[in-house]
Amino acid sequence: MTNYGREVSCTTSLRTGRYVSGARLVAEAAYRRLTTPRGMLRGGEGAANYGLDLTELVGKGRPDSVAAALPARIRAELEKDERIEAVDVEVLVTKQGPATSFGITIEARTGAGPFVLQLRATDVTVELLGIQGEG
């Protein structure tokens, strides 16, 4: 099994004293990648091409068209992380009156094991519903 080291847990906020490793570490990195607007990181070409702000995507276009395009966009962004060997994405559209949300389930395989990342995205926020993965 691959060792990716150990880092402080950081999804919606930095959790000092709580460390993650293995597939959980990669899952948290995937979450941050999907909530960071492209071009927000400073650095070289890798930093310039990092990120896919889901809130920006889900507010554009018809919900069914957005849902059809999201899996490929998410997969392409996550596959930039060399630790992710395979990724499958499922998107479910929920409409409540004028509000639309997208339930996103990501199943990925890493050298340290698999993880499942569950999100709910709107044009305002991306909510982390859960991460299942070792580490």
Angle, CA of 3, 18 and 41, to the nearest 5° = 75
pLDDT at position 96 is: 87
pLDDT at position 122 is: 92
- The domain locations on the chain are 6-133
Listed residue (67, 113, 110) closest to 90, CA to CA: 67
pLDDT at position 35 is: 94
**Looking at domain 6-133, which CATH architecture does it have?**
Roll (3.10)
Residues 6+ apart with CB under 8 A from 47: 41
pLDDT at position 21 is: 93
pTM over 0.75, yes/no: yes
Q: Which residues of the chain have pLDDT under 50?
A: none
3 state SS of 87? strand
pLDDT at position 76 is: 97
Residues 6+ apart with CB under 8 A from 97: none
